[in-house]
Amino acid sequence: MKVAECFVLGLALLGGIEAAPVVEKVDPPNWWVGHTWNPIQVLLTGRDLKGAAVTSESSSLQVEVRRGSDDGRHLFVYVHIRSEARPGRYQFHLATSSGRTGFDLTLDPPIDRRGRFQGFGPGDVIYLLMADRFANGDPSNDSPPEFGQPADRSSPNAYHGGDFRGIRGRLDYLKDLGVTGIWMLPSYRNSTRHASPAHGYHTVDFYAVEPRFGTMQDFRDLVDSAHRLGIKVMQDQVANHCGPHHPWVEAPPTPTWFHDLSVLPRLRNNFDIAALADPYARPRRRSIPLRGWFAGHLPDFDQTDPLVSGYLIQNAIWWIGMSGIDGMRQDTYPYVDRPFWEKWKEAIDRQFPGFFVVGEITARTPAVLSFFEGGARRDGIDTKLDTMLDFPLHRAIRSVFAQNGPLNELADVLAQDSLYRRPEWLVPFLGNHDGARFLAVAGGDISRLLMAQAFLLTTRGIPHLYYGDEIAMGKEDAGGRRSVRADFPGGFPGDPVDAFAPHGRTGDSAVVFQALRSLLHLRRSHPALRRGKLTHLLVEKDRYAYLRSAPEERVLVVLDRTPAGPIDIEVDDIPLRDGLRFRSFPEGQHEVTVTGGRLRIIPSESIMIYVARQ
């Protein structure tokens, strides 16, 4: 190096000369022409971007620099895409007093809506799975060398190797089972050289796919393949927080990107959801769940910062458009300011009418849960949220079926459905990735699981199942959580048992699978179970009977945990014609006939289902 060059380099290192700007990352990397979200927010990440001017040579793009971070690491550029813009790769020029650089942004053709963005409804059954633990279709992405953390199936916290191609290869299994939709945990890039949990909630890049799962093309191929089989796809998204190793934690794009980033110890979320619905709660009580960091270490976004809210809204829309998914489960929904949700859902609905969003709100009671349902203005805000996971009914299901609580607990929760605008859109479930499996809680007793699944698939709502419950996973895990995120047997090379195939399902696994498959196909064949009116006929500690009524048919469900004699039910106040015959499911059991305004049921099983044509 020449002496003059050494002198210039030395001045630059000492701060005597400003360094030329560098663009390292462009969020988003692409957008679409003819889109309803316009202008788009382009967040540049790099070095020495402070005070930069940005221009485009294209007259179809209007560029405005809104804000740059004081450390020169981030620059917010807004690009208005005019109606005459055409698809293509557009170049932008960035200049500061110390130099110039550039970056590209691709504009794609308008999104093809055919067969995509279908939404979900009461006719669907959703199957929740973890990509990493379901099936490994591409072993080459198990251990990316840049992360220094090889897949390790012996560790419950490590990645195991499941991926999008693995799920795609098992779609026929899900189709045969009878589900109509799958829900996957987050697909954002989660891996770093730090230990990163395989569940996907520690995001480090919101505009990248987790490389251990595959590429964006792999994701799209999975969605397209599912759609060809009549299976919808739901993606898990997170707008409340990012992972602790996201680069923003060290260099936030704005001073208010996170809540209380500089405060130690971190304000910890206390999950006081009831405070958010309580009209009499004091401000400090409401502040903690909104500003607190999840588990004390997941950085909490401040959505009152318009640059934050713009980023998160746009990112949600980008994932929908890129993947073609039909719905979304929004994680940790209540811990975000409600005005943000209204703007967020309005933007999604403009571009994707009918798109389905279910919120995770772990409320204990219907009174609290119903506060978050969209369609009504509370405190001047309508979140427009389509529906919620039905945690109150979930708790009752566990209490009743897994722990032998009284059956009337179910009716007590359902009796509060008048608090909701659309209770038939709630999403009830037996278990998920955040708690012990149902069978683990039930002490491995499959009779309890079978009755719980029968109730889930015959009551109101959009039921969701958890992967592996259909093959009795958790049976040997009484009271524990070892099985909650276990690998699906047969999904990984070298597995001694393949539960995806009939020969790999024996004993209790085969019994539970066949019973659930039969229920799913029954539900799909009978509109009364999907959209029929629910009427309680008998509610007792150990006996529960209810009717699902549609214009073309009635379905009678009886759950009986007693060895007692016949069940007599008066139905003279219900428009059931005398002589109406209910045939059993499965066939071969006695029929039930309406006689003199009464039903007499001779118990033969603990689960009895009957169908009558009107």
Confidence of residue 460 (pLDDT cuts 50, 70, 90): very high
Active site residue 112: no
Please, what are the domains in the chain?
3-108 (2.60.40.10), 529-613 (2.60.40.1180)
Helix (H, G, I), strand (E, B) or coil at 336: coil
Mean pLDDT of the chain: 95
Helix (H, G, I), strand (E, B) or coil at 411: helix
Q: Which of 360, 373, 386, 469 is catalytic?
A: 360
Of the chain, the percentage scoring pLDDT greater than 90 comes to 92
Confidence of residue 480 (pLDDT cuts 50, 70, 90): confident
- Position of tokens 């995770």? 360
Across 48-125, the runs of DSSP E, i.e. the strands, are 53-56, 61-68, 74-81, 88-96, 99-108
Question: What's the full length of the chain, in residues?
Answer: 614
C-beta separation of 45 from 122 below 8 A:
no
pLDDT at 341: 98
Q: Which of 48, 142, 331, 373 is catalytic?
A: 331
pTM above the 0.85 mark? yes
What's the pLDDT tens digit per position in 545-590?
A: 999 999 999 999 999 999 888 999 999 999 999 999 999 998 878 8
Is residue 318 pLDDT above 50, yes or no? Answer: yes
Of the chain, the percentage scoring pLDDT greater than 70 comes to 97
Residue 425 DSSP class:
G
CA 514, CA 290: separation in Å to the nearest integer?
44
pLDDT at 479: 80
Active site residue 64: no
User: How are the residues of the chain apportioned to helix, strand and coil, as percentages rounded to the nearest 5?
Assistant: 30, 25, 45
Q: Residue 544, Cβ neighbours under 10 Å: how many? A: 24
Which has the closest alpha carbon to 590: 601, 599, 579, 580? 601
